[in-house]
Amino acid sequence: MSMKELLEKVIRHGLKLGATEVHAVINESRGFEVTINIDDISDAIWKSTSVLEVAVIVDRRIGIANTQEVTEEEALRTVERALSLAKGNKPNPWWKALPGPKPHPEVSGTYDSRIAEIAPEEVIEMARVALDEVKGYDPRVGIWAGVINTNVIHVYVANSRGVEGEDKATSFTISLVASAKEAGAIGSFAEEIRASRALDIEVQEVAREVARKAVESLGARSIKSFKGSLIMDYYTARDFFATFVEALRGDNVWKGRSPLRDKIGEMVAIDNLTIIDDGIMPKGLMTSKFDYEGHPRGRTPLVEKGILKGYLHNSYTANIMGVESTGNASSLLSVAPSNIVISQGDYECDELISEVKKGLLIKRFSGYMRYEDGIVSGVAKQAFLIENGRIVHPVKECMISGNIYEMIKKISGMTRSRKNILGIITPTIRVEDVSIVSKA
C-alpha cells in the first residue's frame, strides 16, 4: 500500500467513526550522522524514521496522536487514539476549519540524488578530511566537537477537505567547533556551520575557516565597559533576526505575546531594511511545496523599507485574524518561518569597521534574545575590540546589553555579502549605541 493510499484510509476511518475533520501527515527521514569528539571520530550512525501524525476534530475538539509504526493496522489505531483524545478535550472556540485544497508551487534545488545515494564510507572520510585539515592549518587548533550528516526526507499530507500533497528533499550539514591553545591558554571556541540541499559543501574550506577563527581568538584581553558600535557577523546577526521574526509569528501576535501586535503600517526598523519570508526560494534550506497543513508555500513581505507589512500565519491564526494563510504552519495551531531573507546593504565588512570610533566585532553570542520584550543580554564570544577604524585585539568575554526593538532602529550599516545560516539569509550588520559591559 502506498503512503497516499494509507492516508486516504486513515481519513475515511476517522470520518466513519464520527470525526468532523481529519488531518494526517507522514514524515520519512533517513541518513548518516558522523560525530567528532575531541579530535577523533566517535560515532557513525545510520538513522531511519517514519512518523504518522493524525489530527481528529470533533465539533471543535482537537485530538492528536502519532506513531512510528507506519502500518495499516497501527495507522487505524492511531486514528482511534486521536478520536478518543478529541472527545475528551474541551472545544476550541477559535477553531474554524482545516484548509481546503490549493495548487502547490513547483520548487527547485531541494533534492540531490547524490545525497540519497551516498555511501557511509564517504561521510566518514569527510570527517577524517576535516580533522586533517584543521591540524594541517595550525597544530595549536583542535576540533572539540563536530557533526556531518546527510538526510533524505519524504513528506505526505492529506485531509478530509481534499488536500493532498507529496514532497521530497535532501540536506547536507557540517558543523565544527574548534579552539586553539597556546602557552597553556585556550582561546574562545570557534564554530562554523554549513548546510545545503546539495552535496556541494567543501569540507576542507569549512575546516580551514573554523581553524582560522580559533587562531584569531588567541591572546584575548580584558576591556573596560563602554557604549559604542556593535558589529554582528553573519552568525550573530542570524540570531538577532531570528528573534525579531518570532515576534511576527501569527500565534505570538494574536495571543498578545508580541510587542509588534497592531503595528502593521508603522515604522519598526531602519528605512532600508526589508525582511521577506520566502518558502519557495530555489535551493532554500526551508523551501518546500507546502507547509504542515498542506497549504502552499509562498513569499511573504514582513518588513519593507522599515515598515511592518504583515505576519506569518497558518490557517488557524489567519482565520482568527481575518487574513489569508501565508503557508507557515508548523502544526495545526502553531506557526514557524521558512527561509528568512534580509536585505543587503552597500558596505564591505572592512568598511563597516573603518567607520567605528570604538566598538566590538562579535562572531558568537551566548545568552538570550527575547522577542517578548526585546531584551538582549549575554556574553560576547569570539569578539574583537575596534578603535579608530581598526581591529585592535581579541577580547575576553564581556556582556552585551540592549533591546532588539531599539537596536533594529539603530542599524547604521549592512554588508553587500550575505550568508545562509540555517535558513536565515543575512548580511553582517552594525548597530550603534550598544552597551558593552566588562566581566573583569
Same domain, 259 and 401: yes
* Final residue of a structural domain among 215, 234, 257: 215
Same domain, 253 and 114: no
Segments forming the whole domain that contains residue 109:
3-215
| Length of the chain in terms of residues written | 440
Share of the chain above pLDDT 70, in %: 100
Q: Give the SS3 label for residue 21.
A: strand
Supply angle C-alpha 52, 58, 63, rounded to 5: 40
Look at the chain and report how many structural domains it folds into.
Answer: 2
Q: Is residue 178 within 8 Å of residue 211, measured between CB atoms?
A: yes
In terms of Cβ atoms closer than 10 Å to its own Cβ (0-12, 13-18, 19+), residue 156 is buried
Strands 307-308 and 226-232: unpaired
CATH at residue 65: 3.30.2290.10
Alpha helices in 104-156 (DSSP H): 113-117, 120-137
Lookup result for grid cell 500500500 = 1
* Final residue of a structural domain among 187, 215, 243: 215
- The secondary structure of residue 330, as a DSSP letter, is S
Cβ partners under 8 Å of residue 42, min gap 6:
35, 36
Same domain, 264 and 355: yes
What is the pLDDT averaged over residues 17-41? 97
Same domain, 419 and 300: yes
Same domain, 130 and 146: yes
Same domain, 144 and 64: yes
pLDDT at residue 1 greater than cutoff 90 = no
pLDDT at residue 440 greater than cutoff 70 = no
Same domain, 168 and 236: no
pLDDT at residue 195 greater than cutoff 90 = yes
Same domain, 119 and 205: yes
Same domain, 265 and 185: no
> Cα(first)–Cα(last) distance of the chain, in Å?
65
State the pLDDT at residue 184. 79
pLDDT tens digits, 54-86: 999 999 999 999 999 999 999 999 999 999 999
Closest of 197, 104, 185 to residue 153, by C-alpha: 197
State the pLDDT at residue 185. 79
What is the pLDDT averaged over residues 31-51? 96
* Final residue of a structural domain among 215, 249, 267: 215
Same domain, 198 and 241: no
Q: Is residue 193 within 8 Å of residue 172, measured between CB atoms?
A: no
- Give the model's confidence band at 37: pLDDT under 50 very low, under 70 low, under 90 confident, else very high: very high
In terms of Cβ atoms closer than 10 Å to its own Cβ (0-12, 13-18, 19+), residue 88 is exposed
Same domain, 240 and 183: no
Whole-angstrom distance, CA of residue 269 vs CA of residue 265: 12
Same domain, 156 and 169: yes
What is the pLDDT averaged over residues 126-133? 97
How far is C-alpha 92 from the chain's CA centre? Answer: 29
Q: Give the SS3 label for residue 400.
A: strand
319 — phi, psi (to 5°)? -65, -40
